Structure 1
Amino acid sequence: MPVPNDYLERILTSRVYDVAVETPLDPAPNLSRRYSNTLLLKREDLQPVFSFKIRGAYNKMARLSPGELARGVITASAGNHAQGVALSASRIGCEAVIVMPVTTPQIKIDAVAQRGGKVVLHGDSFTDAFRHAMTLAEETGRTYIPPFDDPDVIAGQGTIGMEILRQHPGPIEAVFVAIGGGGLAAGVASYIKRLKPEIKVIGVQPVDSDAMKQSIDRGERVELKDVGLFADGVAVRLVGEETFRLCRELLDEIILVDTDAICAAIKDIFEDTRSITEPAGALAVAGAKAYIEREGIEGKTLVAVNCGANMNFDRLRHVSERSELGERREAIIAVSIPEQPGSFKTFCSVIGNRNITEFNYRYADADTAHVFVGVQITRRDEVGRILADLAQHDLQAIDLTDNELAKLHIRHLVGGHAPGLCDERVLRFEFPERPGALMRFLEAMRTDWNISLFHYRNHGADYGRVLVGIQVPQDDHAGFQQFLETLGYPWVEETDNPAYRLFLGKGSRQH
C-alpha cells in the first residue's frame, strides 16, 4: 500500500527520546488465554505524562526557532496533549498556555498546572477550546502546537509503530489504535504500512465519538454535533485534514465500541497489568476483543496500544458498575410476576443456580409485581434461554441489558409509579459538570411546566447524567421542542421506553 507523502524519514528522525521513553510491549496473559490469541499491550501509559501525547508535542516543539520559543507556545487539549506540551515547554525552556474544555477532569487540569503550564478553561469540547486557542495565538503571537493535525506531531506518534516492529519482529495479525483527532492512528499506520503492509492497522472509536469513521464512510470530514464525553481523550467533533487523509488511505478499518465494552477493557488491562487506564486508553483492547470475536481467529498475535492512564479516580465507580455488562457477565432483566403466593418462588426456581447480582421490587398493584433483576451469566446467549424459561412459567420478561435508561437510572429508581400523573414526558440529559449547568436548564424552562421527576447520579465523569420528567400539555409540544433546541444539552426522550413504563410511568404514554 503506498503511503502519501512518505512519513518514514520524518518518523526515523523524530526527536522524541529527549523526554519520552521507549515503552515496553508487554504480554497480556489473561486476555491471551481467554481469547486463544497472543495479545500484546504497547504500554504508552508508562510515559512520563502517562500518555503517548508527549511524543508528538515534543517533536513539534523541538523544531521551533529560538524566536518562536521566546514568544511561547499555546495549544488546546482535553488533557493528555496539554500535559505533553507543558512538560516539553518546561524541558525546552519556554512558556506554555493550555486552553482546555471546562469538562476536562480535574486530575488533568492539576497535572498541567504542576508541569508549569498556564491553564485557560473555555468551552464544552475540544473544538470550542481550539477556536479560543487560535484567537489567543493570533492576539499574542504564540505558536500553536496542534494536538494531532500536524506532520511533526503525527511523526512523533509514529515512533510507536517503529518501536512495535522493532520489539516484535515476528508476524502480527493487527495493531489496534484509539482514534480521536487521528494523530496516533495516522502516525502508526504511516510507519507500519510502509514497512509491513500485510499487518492490519485498525482504528477504534466510541460509538458516540466516531468522527473519523463517519468521515471515511462519507469521503469527507464530518463534524459531529455532539460527542460522548466518557472517553474524553478522544472526544473530538472534527478530525484533522492531514490525519483524515492518512487514515482514509492507510487504515484497514475502524471498529466502534460502546461504554460497557470500554469499561470491561479497563478491567481486563488491570487484571493483566495492575494498572488502570483511562477510557480512551482502553479503546484499543476493546477493539481487539471485538475483532477476535467477529473474526473467530485463534493463534494470532495482536497488538493494542494502551495510549493513556490519566484516570479520574471517582470514575472507577462507574467503570466497576458497567464492566460486568461489557464483559457480558451480567444481564439485566425486567420480569412481571403475578401478585399471588408462590410466584416469587417460581421466579427463583427458573433463575436456578445463577447468581443474582441485583434485585429491586416494589408493590405496583393487586395483580402484578414488576421486578428489576441483575443475573450473572457466562455468555450473552444465556439471556435468551432465561427469557424462554420464564415465558414457559407464564412470567413475562424483557431483556434490558442494552437499555441505557435502565442501566443508568431505573435500577436506582425502581418503584416510583405516579398513577395520577398526566402529560409526563421523560428525557435523559447530559449536563456539563460545572457550576450553573442546572440553573441554565431551569432558567430556560417555562415556569408553567412542572418537573415531575428528577434523578441525578454523579459517576465521577466530566458530565452528569440526568433523568428529568416534565409535565407538558399536548398543545405545548412545539414550545417544548424549541426549549430543547435552545438549551443545547444532548438529550434522548425516554417517554416510550419500556423500562420507564414498567417502573416509573402509568404503563402507557400520556401525551
Structure 2
Amino acid sequence: MDQRRLEYLQRILNSRVYDIAIESPLDRASKLSARLDNDIWLKREDTQPVHSFKLRGAYNKMAHLSAEELARGVICSSAGNHAQGVAMSAQRLGCDAHIVMPVTTPKLKSDAVRALGGKVVLHGESYTEAFAHAVELEKQHGYLFVHPFDDPDVIAGQGTIGMEILRQHQHSVHAVFVAIGGGGLISGVAAYIKAVRPGIKVIGVQMKDSDAMVQSVRAGHKVALNDVGLFSDGTAVKVVGDETFRLTSELVDDFVTVDTDAVCAAIKDAFEDTRSILEPAGAMGIAGLKQYVAEHQLTGQTLVAITCGANMNFDRLRFVADRAEAGEEREALFAVTIPEVRGSFKRLCETVSQRDVTEFSYRITDGDEAHVLVGLSIKNRSEVTAICDSLTEQRFSAISLVEDDLAKEHLRYMVGGRSSVCGSERLYRFEFPERPGALMRFLSSMHPNWNISLFHYRNHGADYGRILIGIQIPDEDLSGFQEFVETLGYRYTDETANPVYHMFLR
C-alpha cells in the first residue's frame, strides 16, 4: 500500500464523525432483491440527523480546526446537504456558519440550514457559481472555507461509510454503488474499501446530464461541463475536485450513468422497501445498481447501494410518481391515430383492453382522423413493439413515445383544446372503481347515438379512477343519458356550465 493510501486509511480510522453522526443501518431490500435476483443492501445515510451523509465530512473537517480558526467563522458553498452538515457542525462547535447556495436549491434545504443557525446567501444557478461567490466572501471577510468534497478531512469523514459497510456485512460483497457529484463520497468510500478488501468493486453513478467525473476519468484530465441538469441538485457539479479526481481515477472500478426516469423509479423502489422518500441524489446508487445488474446480467450477487440523502421537496413527488413507471419500464406511452368515425374509440379501447390503461387523452377534430394519447402498463420494454403491431393489425397507426421527453414532460398534459365540431357537447367528470373492466363497462353501456368528443383518463394509483368526458348528445336524448348515468352508479359531476370549459375547450 502506497503512502497516500495509508494516510487516508489512518484519517478514516481517526475521524471524529461520531461526535455528531450516527452509524447508519445497512438494511436488506427484500423486494428489490427478489425482483433483481440478487442480494441487495441499502446503506441508509438518509437516516442521519440532517438526512444526508454530508454531516460526516463537514464535522470531521471542522472538528480538526483550532479555536482561533473557528472564531473566524466558516463558509461553504452547497446545494443543500453539505450546507446542513456545516450548519449543524457549527452549532455544535459554537461558531458562525455562512452558507452560499444556488438559487435553484429546494426551499426545504435552505429552510433547514436557516433552522440550524446557518446564514444563507443565495447566489448563482449551479454549485460552481455558488462556489465562486463563496471564495470571494472568504477573501473579503477572512472566513475559513469548508469544501464540500475536495478536502482530505472531508473525504475521510465520508470514508467512514465504507468502514461501516465492511464491518456490518463481513461476508462476500460483489460491488458497492455510490452517487457522484464532486466526488467526496466515492473517494472516501473507495479509499477505505480498496485498502481493506480490494476485491470489492466500487461503482460510481452519475446523472447523464451531470457526468463531469465520468468524462474526466475517461479523458484523463478534469473536464468542465458547460451546463448540468438540475433534477438531482445534490450532484449538479460542473467541475470535480483535484483530489477527488485523483482518488476516483485510481480506485473506482467502473461507472454507470443514469437518466431522470431511472432515478424516479429508484425513489419508488426505496419507498417500497423502506417507506422512506429519497431525494434524487440519494436514489442514484439504487438506479445505477439496477442498470448495472441488467447490463451485466448479474444474479446471486451481494450488492450495496448507498442511499445518501432524503431532503426531498414535497412538490417534486408528483413529477417523480409520473416518471417512475416509465423509469421502471412499467408504462409505455403511444400516439395512436384512429379514423374519426363512430365506434373507432371503442374499438381502440377493445384492442388494448387486456392491458391496464394508465392514460387516455382524446379530443374530436374537424378532420378525417383523430389522435389519441394512450398510456399502457407493460412488464418490460420489449412489449412495446408487440403493442404497436397489435394496433397496426386493427388499422390504427401507432407511434411509441417511450423515449420522447417532450411527450412525457409536456404533451401528455396539453392534448385537447377547442374544436369546431363539438356541437351539442356536454362535459362530465366521473369517478369509478379502479378495477379491470370498469372503463369498458362504461363505453359498452353507452347508446350508439352518443358520440365521445373528448376523453381524458389518468391512473393515479388510487382505489377509484377519474375520467373527464365530452359527449355529443341530441337534446331529445338528454333524459335517456341521465337515466344511463344513474344506472351506472358511478359518481359524476356535470361540468357543462363550468366557465373554464368554455374558456379553453368549448
The TM-score by the shorter chain falls in which range? 0.7 to 0.9
CA distances 1:315-366 after superposition (whole Å, capped 9, x unpaired): 1111111111111111000011112234323322321310111111112343
Q: Identify the residue that residue 492 of structure 2 maps to in structure 1.
A: none
Give the AA of the match of 1:316: L
Q: Identify the residue that residue 391 of structure 2 maps to in structure 1.
A: 390
TM-score for the superposition, normalised by structure 1: 0.80
CA distances 1:62-88 after superposition (whole Å, capped 9, x unpaired): 111111111110000000000000000
Q: Identify the residue that residue 466 of structure 1 maps to in structure 2.
A: none
> Residues 298-447 of structure 1 correspond to what in structure 2 (within 5 A)?
298-416=299-417
Aligned equivalents of 1:418 and 1:239: distance in 2? Answer: 53
Q: Percent identity?
A: 62
Aligned equivalents of 2:185 and 2:90: distance in 1? Answer: 21
Whether the 8 Å contact between 2:283 and 2:308 is mirrored in structure 1 is yes
Aligned equivalents of 1:340 and 1:117: distance in 2? Answer: 64
CA distances 1:428-454 after superposition (whole Å, capped 9, x unpaired): xxxxxxxxxxxxxxxxxxxxxxxxxxx
Give the AA of the match of 1:414: V
Aligned equivalents of 2:416 and 2:399: distance in 1? Answer: 17
Q: Identify the residue that residue 427 of structure 2 maps to in structure 1.
A: none
Aligned equivalents of 1:144 and 1:277: distance in 2? Answer: 28
Q: CA RMSD in A?
A: 1.5
CA distances 1:224-273 after superposition (whole Å, capped 9, x unpaired): 11111111110111111110111111111111111111111111111111
Give the AA of the match of 1:31: L
Give the AA of the match of 1:317: R
Aligned to 1:11, the other structure's residue is in SS state: helix
2:177 paired with 1:176: yes
Q: Identify the residue that residue 208 of structure 1 maps to in structure 2.
A: 209
Aligned to 2:19, the other structure's residue is in SS state: coil
* Number of corresponding residues: 419
Cα distance, 1:195 vs structure 2: 1.2
Aligned equivalents of 2:369 and 2:214: distance in 1? Answer: 46
Max Rg structure: 2
Q: Identify the residue that residue 292 of structure 1 maps to in structure 2.
A: 293
Give the AA of the match of 1:26: D
CA distances 1:466-504 after superposition (whole Å, capped 9, x unpaired): xxxxxxxxxxxxxxxxxxxxxxxxxxxxxxxxxxxxxxx
Q: Identify the residue that residue 70 of structure 1 maps to in structure 2.
A: 71
Q: Identify the residue that residue 118 of structure 1 maps to in structure 2.
A: 119
* Structure 2 unmatched ranges of 5 or more: 421-506
Aligned to 2:386, the other structure's residue is in SS state: helix
Aligned equivalents of 2:21 and 2:132: distance in 1? Answer: 28
Aligned equivalents of 1:235 and 1:416: distance in 2? Answer: 37
Cα distance, 1:389 vs structure 2: 1.2
Aligned to 1:236, the other structure's residue is in SS state: coil
> Taking structure 1 as reference, are residues 156 and 369 closer, same or farther at Cα in structure 2, changes over 3 Å only?
same
Aligned to 1:17, the other structure's residue is in SS state: helix
> Residues 12-51 of structure 1 correspond to what in structure 2 (within 5 A)?
12-51=13-52
Q: Identify the residue that residue 280 of structure 2 maps to in structure 1.
A: 279
CA distances 1:268-287 after superposition (whole Å, capped 9, x unpaired): 11111111111100000011
Q: Identify the residue that residue 8 of structure 1 maps to in structure 2.
A: 9
Whether the 8 Å contact between 1:75 and 1:98 is mirrored in structure 2 is yes
Q: Identify the residue that residue 490 of structure 1 maps to in structure 2.
A: none
Q: Identify the residue that residue 245 of structure 2 maps to in structure 1.
A: 244
Aligned equivalents of 1:215 and 1:189: distance in 2? Answer: 17
> Taking structure 1 as reference, are residues 418 and 5 closer, same or farther at Cα in structure 2, changes over 3 Å only?
farther
Aligned to 1:299, the other structure's residue is in SS state: coil
> Residues 219-258 of structure 1 correspond to what in structure 2 (within 5 A)?
219-258=220-259
Cα distance, 1:210 vs structure 2: 0.8
Whether the 8 Å contact between 2:366 and 2:419 is mirrored in structure 1 is no
Aligned equivalents of 2:40 and 2:2: distance in 1? Answer: 28
Cα distance, 1:313 vs structure 2: 0.8
Q: Identify the residue that residue 194 of structure 1 maps to in structure 2.
A: 195
Give the AA of the match of 1:78: A
Give the AA of the match of 1:125: S
* Structure 1 unmatched ranges of 5 or more: 420-511
Whether the 8 Å contact between 2:364 and 2:419 is mirrored in structure 1 is no
Cα distance, 1:3 vs structure 2: 8.4
Q: Identify the residue that residue 130 of structure 1 maps to in structure 2.
A: 131
Q: Identify the residue that residue 85 of structure 2 maps to in structure 1.
A: 84
Give the AA of the match of 2:45: E
Aligned to 1:128, the other structure's residue is in SS state: helix
Whether the 8 Å contact between 1:156 and 1:187 is mirrored in structure 2 is yes
Aligned equivalents of 2:122 and 2:209: distance in 1? Answer: 24
Aligned to 2:269, the other structure's residue is in SS state: helix
Whether the 8 Å contact between 1:337 and 1:369 is mirrored in structure 2 is yes
> Taking structure 1 as reference, are residues 86 and 280 closer, same or farther at Cα in structure 2, changes over 3 Å only?
same
CA distances 1:367-405 after superposition (whole Å, capped 9, x unpaired): 111111111111111111001111222211111022110
Aligned equivalents of 2:298 and 2:412: distance in 1? Answer: 37
Give the AA of the match of 1:319: V
Aligned to 1:175, the other structure's residue is in SS state: strand
Aligned equivalents of 1:185 and 1:5: distance in 2? Answer: 14
Aligned to 2:17, the other structure's residue is in SS state: coil
Give the AA of the match of 2:205: V
Aligned to 2:88, the other structure's residue is in SS state: helix
Aligned equivalents of 2:291 and 2:37: distance in 1? Answer: 14
Give the AA of the match of 1:84: G
Aligned equivalents of 2:393 and 2:3: distance in 1? Answer: 59
Whether the 8 Å contact between 1:261 and 1:327 is mirrored in structure 2 is yes
Aligned equivalents of 1:379 and 1:404: distance in 2? Answer: 19
Aligned equivalents of 1:244 and 1:418: distance in 2? Answer: 58
Give the AA of the match of 2:293: I
Aligned equivalents of 1:3 and 1:50: distance in 2? Answer: 34
> Taking structure 1 as reference, are residues 298 and 366 closer, same or farther at Cα in structure 2, changes over 3 Å only?
same
Whether the 8 Å contact between 2:365 and 2:419 is mirrored in structure 1 is no
2:227 paired with 1:263: no
> Taking structure 1 as reference, are residues 11 and 383 closer, same or farther at Cα in structure 2, changes over 3 Å only?
same
Aligned equivalents of 2:3 and 2:319: distance in 1? Answer: 41
Give the AA of the match of 1:247: T
CA distances 1:96-153 after superposition (whole Å, capped 9, x unpaired): 1001111111111111111111111111110111000001001111100000001110
